[in-house]
């Protein structure tokens, strides 16, 4: 061991305590599991290189190069072998292992991991060790591009660190979706749950059923009174132009229509973009409820050919439709999990459907609740035959679910759901309304409540806890008419969630995290994010929507006579 190396090691060993860290180290979000501070700093200079030791790391190296070259204005070169910054796969290759080590010392910066995602996490940490201007889209002069000497050993507490985006209500363009993925990457989120269809629109091209997007991706916002978000924001922000984003408009037969969809080619582009950033894309095709657009496009999908949601699960042709759709989905998304949805189904409509009733009798089911459970199990078998695993909102527990389905616990107001699911052997992702609905209203205490709250219920036994896959936040779009509004609702809330999902072993006290956040906000600014300032008063959200804007929704439960 060289003398120089021995000295550095001693300095590292002398500081294992996060409280004594330099400002850059303290400002890391999420906080790494182990940080050893050194003394000194490594300076990035013009002509720096990014080396990689395995060809699979080239996209990660190019990604980092683009960031550094843009912000520093330096010449940056990617090369095989070692570089000023070296990215290295080491040990037994394991892409499921997200851990990494990052070392910065006099010899440069070294990021080492067993798999691609670990390397990406190391790059995200490196970005946060550099001045926040590194996130800038233009070259920044007069910045000293230094990295503090440090050794970081890090891994996530939870594998599932998700954000769900809903382009069905408000359509996000390709660029907006990519910007969202950029943010996810910086904060080490692992799963992009993409809610691609809902009552208001169908957003993904399905070749076998072209009407789903030809018709189903568009709506007349005046006739279909489902554009509350625009109205609310137009009032709240006193901006009448908010009613219809001009880039999402099409005029057809004199009607002004709002919408858009992702072609299969574009879906491939998003999946590839996310993969470079270490993010799995988990598509949700929400069956059998929330399907008003599909049943309007193909009325045979509905129980009485009346175009009303939900899907008629009594008809074999409808089961075939669902399988056809998922078959195309499986080809587009190469990941293990696909979301079936299954929430808020207006099951009462099945009571009067001869096909649904015949299915109940034929399958020996008790009622309409068991009919949905039968549908979910049937689809799960189809998923499994195609090598995929099923996830659904927590309603899939009702009427019996197989042990292999994973449950998104969203109804925070319903106690015991996680216990019930895990006792049945099901894995759970926690995204309770209580903390994780980022479209809900917020005030100046919301962030602290999220940070200090029990996103994973406190009373779980160790056996139940082992079945918790992780956490996610959901960003529904009914009251989010623009990307700017979405960012305002999501940031910096998402940073608190990122911290909690990554590091449950050394969660900082709130006061320390809040101070970190203050230091961190210029980074969001450098990325051009319209984040919510820490003190901004009250902001309306889905749960506080004005009553006069809710009038045309169809009832979720059977109307009382």
Residue (81 or 413) nearer to ligand ACM, CB: 413
Three-state SS sequence of 81-104: CCCCEEEEECCCCCCCCCCEEEEE
Residue (182 or 343) nearer to ligand ACM, CB: 343
Site string for Zn ion, 329-368 (x = CB under 5 A): ------------------------x-xx------------
Least separation in angstroms between CB 269 and ligand ACM: 27
Q: How far apart are CA 149 and CA 152, in angstroms?
A: 10
| Alpha-carbon torsion (112, 118, 124, 129), positive or negative | negative
The SS3 assignment for 70 reads: helix
Q: Which does 393 bind (CB under 5 to 8 A by kind): ligand ACM, Zn ion, none?
A: ligand ACM
398 in contact with ligand ACM (CB under 6 A) = no
Least separation in angstroms between CB 289 and ligand ACM: 9
Q: In sequence order, what are the beta bridge partners of 85?
A: 50, 109
Q: Which does 289 bind (CB under 5 to 8 A by kind): Zn ion, ligand ACM, none?
A: none
Least separation in angstroms between CB 410 and ligand ACM: 4
303 in contact with Zn ion (CB under 5 A) = yes
Residue (158 or 542) nearer to ligand ACM, CB: 542
Site string for Zn ion, 116-155 (x = CB under 5 A): ----------------------------------------
Residue (320 or 414) nearer to ligand ACM, CB: 414
Contacts for 492 with CB less than 8 Å, ≥ 6 apart: 447, 517, 520, 521, 524, 531, 532, 534
H/E stretch holding 510:
helix 510-526
Q: Where are the beta strands (DSSP E) in 155-209?
A: 160-165, 191-195, 197-198, 201-202
Q: How far apart are CA 159 and CA 471, in angstroms?
A: 9
The SS3 assignment for 183 reads: helix
Least separation in angstroms between CB 195 and ligand ACM: 9
Q: Which does 356 bind (CB under 5 to 8 A by kind): Zn ion, ligand ACM, none?
A: Zn ion
Least separation in angstroms between CB 341 and ligand ACM: 8
476-441-135 Cα angle (round to 5):
70
410 in contact with ligand ACM (CB under 6 A) = yes
Q: For the chain, what is the total number of helices (H) and then of strands (E)?
A: 19, 20
Q: Which does 168 bind (CB under 5 to 8 A by kind): Zn ion, ligand ACM, none?
A: none
Q: Which does 314 bind (CB under 5 to 8 A by kind): ligand ACM, Zn ion, none?
A: Zn ion
371 in contact with Zn ion (CB under 5 A) = no
Strands 76-80, 218-219: pairing kind: unpaired
Binder among 184, 312, 371, 549 for Zn ion (CB under 5 A): 312
Length of the chain: 561
CB atoms under 10 Å from CB of 335, counted, come to 18
> How is 205-258 classified by DSSP, letter by letter?
--TT-THHHHTTTEE-TTTS---HHHHHHHHHTT-GGGGS-GGGEEEETTEEEE
Q: Which does 343 bind (CB under 5 to 8 A by kind): ligand ACM, Zn ion, none?
A: ligand ACM
Q: Which does 353 bind (CB under 5 to 8 A by kind): ligand ACM, Zn ion, none?
A: Zn ion
Residue (87 or 168) nearer to ligand ACM, CB: 168
Q: How far is CA 299 from CA 211, 261, 306, 307, 501, in A?
A: 11, 21, 6, 5, 43
Q: In sequence order, what are the beta bridge partners of 119?
A: none
Residue (410 or 531) nearer to ligand ACM, CB: 410
Residue (168 or 345) nearer to Zn ion, CB: 345
Least separation in angstroms between CB 285 and ligand ACM: 14
Tokens at 191, concatenated: 């799963």
488 in contact with ligand ACM (CB under 6 A) = no
Tokens at 481, concatenated: 């008419």
Least separation in angstroms between CB 327 and ligand ACM: 24
Least separation in angstroms between CB 395 and ligand ACM: 8
Q: Which of residues 285-344 bind ligand ACM (CB under 6 A)?
A: 343-344
Number of chain residues interacting with Zn ion (CB under 5 A): 6
Provide Rg for the chain, Cα atoms.
25
- The answer to whether 109 and 38 have CB atoms below 8 angstroms apart is no
187 in contact with ligand ACM (CB under 6 A) = no
Least separation in angstroms between CB 342 and ligand ACM: 9
Q: Which does 183 bind (CB under 5 to 8 A by kind): ligand ACM, Zn ion, none?
A: none
- Binding range to Zn ion, per CB under 5 A, among 152-160, 239-247, 300-308, 487-495: 300-308
Tokens at 142, concatenated: 């007069």
The pair phi, psi for residue 107, each rounded to 5°, is -90, -5
**Of 524, 486, 482, 411, which is closest to residue 234 (Cα–Cα)?**
482
Number of chain residues interacting with ligand ACM (CB under 6 A): 4
Least separation in angstroms between CB 201 and Zn ion: 23
393 in contact with ligand ACM (CB under 6 A) = yes
Least separation in angstroms between CB 389 and ligand ACM: 19
Which residues bind to ligand ACM, rule: CB under 6 A? 343-344, 393, 410
Which residues bind to Zn ion, rule: CB under 5 A? 303, 312, 314, 353, 355-356
């Amino acid at each position: 061991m060289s003398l120089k190396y021995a000295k550095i090691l001693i300095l590292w060993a002398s500081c294992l305590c996060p409280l004594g860290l330099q400002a850059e180290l303290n400002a890391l979000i999420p906080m790494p599991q182990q940080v050893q501070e050194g003394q000194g700093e490594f300076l990035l200079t013009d002509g720096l290189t990014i080396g990689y030791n395995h060809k699979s790391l080239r996209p990660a190296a190019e990604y980092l190069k683009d960031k550094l070259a843009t912000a520093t204005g330096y010449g940056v070169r990617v090369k095989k072998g070692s570089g000023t910054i070296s990215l290295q796969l080491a040990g037994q290759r394991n892409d499921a292992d997200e851990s990494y080590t990052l070392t910065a010392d006099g010899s440069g910066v070294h990021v080492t991991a067993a798999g691609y995602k670990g390397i990406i996490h190391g790059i995200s940490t490196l970005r946060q060790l550099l001045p926040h201007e590194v996130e800038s889209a233009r070259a920044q002069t007069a910045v000293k591009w230094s990295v503090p000497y440090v050794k970081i050993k890090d891994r996530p507490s939870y594998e599932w660190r998700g954000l769900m985006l809903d382009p069905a209500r408000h359509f996000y363009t390709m660029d907006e979706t990519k910007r969202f993925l950029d943010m996810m990457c910086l904060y080490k989120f692992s799963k992009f749950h993409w809610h691609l269809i809902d009552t208001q629109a169908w957003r993904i091209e399905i070749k076998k059923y072209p009407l789903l997007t030809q018709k189903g991706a568009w709506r007349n916002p005046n006739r279909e009174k489902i554009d509350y978000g625009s109205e609310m924001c137009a009032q709240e922000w006193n901006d009448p132009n908010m009613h219809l984003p001009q880039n999402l408009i099409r005029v057809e037969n004199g009607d002004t229509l709002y919408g858009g969809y992702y072609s299969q080619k574009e879906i491939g582009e998003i999946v590839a973009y996310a993969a470079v950033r270490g993010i799995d894309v988990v598509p949700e095709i929400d069956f059998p409820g929330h399907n008003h657009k599909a049943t309007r496009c193909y009325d045979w999908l509905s129980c009485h050919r009346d175009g009303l949601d939900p899907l008629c699960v009594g008809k074999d042709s409808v089961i075939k439709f669902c399988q056809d759709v998922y078959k195309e989905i499986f080809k587009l998304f190469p990941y293990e999990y696909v979301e079936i949805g299954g929430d808020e189904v207006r099951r009462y409509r099945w009571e009067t459907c001869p096909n649904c009733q015949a299915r109940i009798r034929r399958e020996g089911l008790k009622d309409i609740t068991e009919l949905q459970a039968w549908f979910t199990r049937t689809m799960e078998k189809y998923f499994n035959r195609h090598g995929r695993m099923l996830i659904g909102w927590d309603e899939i527990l009702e009427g019996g679910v197989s042990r292999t389905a994973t449950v998104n616990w969203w109804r925070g107001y319903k106690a015991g759901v996680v216990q019930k699911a895990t006792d049945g052997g099901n894995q759970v992702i926690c995204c309770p309304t209580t903390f994780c609905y980022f479209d809900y209203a917020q005030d100046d205490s919301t962030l602290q409540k999220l940070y200090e709250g029990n996103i994973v219920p406190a009373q779980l036994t160790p056996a139940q806890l082992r079945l918790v896959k992780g956490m996610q936040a959901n960003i529904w779009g009914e009251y989010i008419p623009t990307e700017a509004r979405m960012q305002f609702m999501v940031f910096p809330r998402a940073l608190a969630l990122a911290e909690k999902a990554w590091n449950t072993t050394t969660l900082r006290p709130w006061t320390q995290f809040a101070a970190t956040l203050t230091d961190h906000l210029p980074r969001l600014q450098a990325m051009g994010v319209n984040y919510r300032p820490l003190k901004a008063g009250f902001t309306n959200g889905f749960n506080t929507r004005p009553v006069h804007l809710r009038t045309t929704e169809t009832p979720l439960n059977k109307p009382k006579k």
